[in-house]
Amino acid sequence: MLYTYKPIPHDMRKMHAFVAYIFVKVWCKAPSCEYSLDLFSGMPDLLAIMEQLIREDQAGKENGAGAFFFSSVNEIFIGFKTLSPSQIKHMRKMFLANNNIQALCEGRVTPFRYPLNINPILHDKIQKFFSKLYSCGFFNLKFVRDKLGTDLHDHYNAFTKANELTSCPFCGLQPMDTDNDPTKEAYDHYLPSSIYPFNSVNFKNLAPACHKCNSQYKLAKDPLAGAGGKQRRAFYPYALNNYPIQTSVQFLQDMQPTNKDQMVIGLKCDGFEEEIKTWDALYNITERFAARCCSPASKAWTNRIRLECRNYGKTPEQALEAELLICSESPWTEAMFLKAAYLREMNRVGLISSTTAYE
């Protein structure tokens, strides 16, 4: 990805804290104790939520997100009661591994995917719970929001301010909604919840992405497995430092291309060659970059050079230098990084210095 996100401290992280507590302090204790609210006493906010869910259950409220959460927690607890100590240990191992998102992306930890090697009934309960947990609306219930002290919209606003979003970091082509927009971009489950259990509300696995990247290109593709299920590494969206990606454009003829088959897009990131291939496979990067370079945007890029020459008396070389400086100062705004690569290639093949182009 072109740049990485900065994680923010925020109360919405309680979502995953609730789940981690339930997994370790409730479910994993199932073989040695009976289910009771006392099991939740170590986390007062979660205890208050469970008390409210019991009241709703006793009042006969059997549908909705609250009922789904309450029944799932109970049913999975019952399933855990059948597990041996070694099986409990293995479940803990899977939970910890699948929530170490950075280590998974870097290939330092082996991921666990569905289907899990456990009792099929328990397996189905776990898969249903974690696949639906984020989207079912549970964390948007008023009494849950009250205990969280916030909601996802507030997190997005704080997140966009901290990260100063200008474009989607996964493609660099599409703008991103900010805290001033009435809508917000969707959070992508970078490791899809349909494939990976236990991390569906972990913000280290939730990354805002533009609609095209999230819903048209990546979809439910597995970043950690390529063709035939072969393991692969992937960029980690919350890495401490940006990845040193270099983008280049090469024209196959010494003329301005009119279609994407007339150019080659180069992607380079020293030390991250496998991650580059994964990124391209997930988001169709090279083809999308080539398409943008054949769009009216590329004409606007070269027209800027012409206008600088005509209106301010600059030479083509001076105009190019000024444009490249602007691109370097704001590379993620309006695909400036790609514009710079395109203009450099125009210059290499002699199209920038052509005086007839600027008359």
Percent of the chain surpassing pLDDT 90: 91
φ, ψ at 208 (rounded to 5°): -60, 135
pLDDT at 167 over 60: yes
Over residues 190-207, the pLDDT tens digits come to 999 999 999 999 999 999
Distance CA 121, CA 117 (A): 11
pLDDT at 358 over 80: no
pLDDT at 221 over 70: yes
Which residues are CB-neighbours of 321 under 8 A, at least 6 positions away?
A: none
Which residues are CB-neighbours of 177 under 8 A, at least 6 positions away?
A: 160, 165, 183, 184, 185
How big is the CA angle at 337 (ends 159 and 104), to the nearest 5 degrees? 50
Mean pLDDT of 306-311: 90
pLDDT at 238 over 80: yes
Mean pLDDT of the chain: 94
pLDDT at 227 over 90: no
Residues 143/52, Cβ–Cβ less than 8 Å: yes
**pLDDT at residue 61 in the model:** 74
Residues 180/345, Cβ–Cβ less than 8 Å: no
Q: Which two tokens stand for residue 253?
A: 């003829």
Mean pLDDT of 81-89: 96
Over residues 25-39, the pLDDT tens digits come to 999 999 999 999 999
Cα 245 to Cα 51, 165, 170: the distances in Å are 50, 18, 12
Over residues 102-128, the pLDDT tens digits come to 999 999 999 999 999 999 999 999 999
Confidence of residue 355 (pLDDT cuts 50, 70, 90): very low
Distance CA 20, CA 201 (A): 10
The pTM assigned to this predicted structure is 0.93
User: Exposed e or buried b for every residue in 127-150, given b needs 16+ CB within 10 A?
Assistant: bebbbbbbebebbebeebeebbeb
Residues 265/289, Cβ–Cβ less than 8 Å: yes
**pLDDT at residue 353 in the model:** 81
> Could you tell me how far CA 51 lies from the centroid of its own chain?
34
Distance CA 111, CA 99 (A): 9
Q: Which two tokens stand for residue 202?
A: 């972990």
**Mean pLDDT lowest among 3-12, 254-263, 335-344:** 254-263
pLDDT at 2 over 70: yes
Residues 338/292, Cβ–Cβ less than 8 Å: yes
**pLDDT at residue 254 in the model:** 87
Beta-bridge partner residues of 265: 249
Q: Which two tokens stand for residue 316?
A: 């083509």
Which residues are CB-neighbours of 119 under 8 A, at least 6 positions away?
A: 79, 82, 83
